[in-house]
Amino acid sequence: MAKKKISPINEEFDFKLLVTIARKSTMWFALFVLTAILTALLILRYTAPVYEASSIIQLSEQDNARSVLNEITVKRFGEQNNKLASSIELIRSKVILERVLKRLPFEVSYYSKGEILTNELYKISPFSVEIKVKDSSILEEPILIEFKSETSFSVVYPFSSSKISPTQEFKENQWVSTDELDFKIDILDYTTIQTLQKDLTSDAIFFKINSLTTVADQIIKELVVTPLNSEAKTIQIKLKDKNQQKATDIVNGIAAEFNKYDLEKNSEVADKILDFIDNTIAAINIQLSNSENSLENFKKENKIINPDLNAGSILSQLDQIQNELYSIDYQISLFENIRKDVKANNDIGKFLLSLAGRTDDSQITAQLNRLQELIDQRDQLRQQATENSEVFKSLSVKLKNQQDLLERTLLNEEAELKAKKEIRKQENRKIESKLGLIPQQQAEYGRLQRLFTINEKFYSMLLEKKAEF
């Protein structure tokens, strides 16, 4: 038969065994239970309750700076966490908390002192104190007040060197002066003061002048700030304190002050953006005017509206001059050939066809016709008379004179055409030089036009952004 292994540690609870032991030790068991009950009652009676207040805030997603400047809105989870983390650290910092403490009645704290517990009379104090601190050594020191009547009180000052005696009485709203402090007390509810002084110890009521830095340090130790929902960008603020109203005011004050601080920062950013836009608009306006003036001066100096349009005009002028030069060269060549044939007594009938319909050469055409008529008359006369006859000689003289006249006319025409050709060549060189400058002008005009366009678009964009903002 196998033996059951017995563990050295009893892992089972035997209620019967407990009852048996209790019966044998009834007195000790009753004493233990009574002691536990009394201890619990004392703890509940003389331990001040601790209250927890909480508040939830949601971070704003609005970002005017990025929306105005067309930056990409932050959507990544990591950047959301960064914003949450920075906001949490800001809420935990003294920057927000000290602003809250300045808005709440934390300059002076009021207390009622019992035999064991001391209660803070936050916002329910039956008296108020107005102070003028001279020396910071008085901060956080308790100043005991004993009210003698509805209008008088005595003071137990924390420094023994003070000239104030505990038996010395002061009047309500009378300034009490010490080396560290000037203060006066205003009695708000004397009935409550009497109750407190009757129910509590002799030193029942006192006040302390707070150091906001010390108060802030104490609150920060109990302040819990955690992200509630990273997707919704919500933050929960919690604070534990023995005074329910105080904890509530601080938590709500932190939430409100954070929102106010965030709004101030956004307003500050907005003001800086508007200043940037205004300053940039002023600068761009100057640049825009300079660009416009540069563009106008370029057009005036070069006497053009647009180099591209001017290039077409110049090419058209060059074609026209080239055609004129070809025509001049042809006329010069034609007149030279006529002179040569006239001197050589060759047939000039072929030139009449070349000159037909040219109004500019009507004089030469007329002289050629006259010369041709004389030649025809001479040829006919040869059949009727000899070359030694007077009629033939007279006709020969007329023919010679007509040849000389035609030659002089042709020479004059050739000189005029050559002069005209030289003028056209000079004009051609000038126009070709302008054509050579067109690429440079096009580049400069394009640069000025681009600069003007950029400034104009940037100026318009800034005006639109300012209107949107």
> 219 with 239: CB under 8 angstroms?
yes
Order of strands across the sheet that contains 205-209: 118-120, 108-113, 205-209, 142-147, 152-156, 169-171
Does the pLDDT at position 2 exceed 60? no
pLDDT score of 210 more than 60? yes
Give me the pLDDT at residue 153, please.
Answer: 92
| Rounded Cα gap, residues 427 and 414, in angstroms | 20
Q: What is the overall mean pLDDT for the chain? A: 78
pLDDT (mean) for 46-65: 75
Mean pLDDT for 73-102 is 73
Going by pLDDT thresholds of 50, 70 and 90, the confidence category of residue 248 is: very high
What spatial distance separates the first Cα and last Cα of the chain, rounded to whole Å?
Answer: 94
Q: Tell me which amino acid residue 242 is.
A: K
Range in 36-50, 142-156, 169-183, 283-297 with the lowest mean pLDDT: 36-50
Contacts of 94 (CB under 8 A, 6+ apart): 213, 216, 220
What is the pLDDT at residue 71?
46
- Which run of H or E residues covers position 295? helix 244-302
Residue 305 pLDDT: 64
The pLDDT assigned to 75 comes to 42
pLDDT tens digit string along 128-150? 999 999 988 899 999 999 898 99
- Ramachandran area for residue 70 (φ above 0: left; ψ -120 to 50: alpha; else beta): left
Q: Percentage of residues in the chain with pLDDT exceeding 70?
A: 76
Q: Model confidence at 291, in pLDDT bands (50, 70, 90)?
A: confident
Residues 6+ apart with CB under 8 A from 246: 120, 122, 123
């609005």: which residue's tokens?
62
pLDDT tens digits for 341-384?
777 776 666 555 555 545 456 777 787 778 777 777 777 877 77
Dist CA 31 CA 37 (whole Å): 10
Evaluate if residue 6 carries a pLDDT over 60.
Answer: no
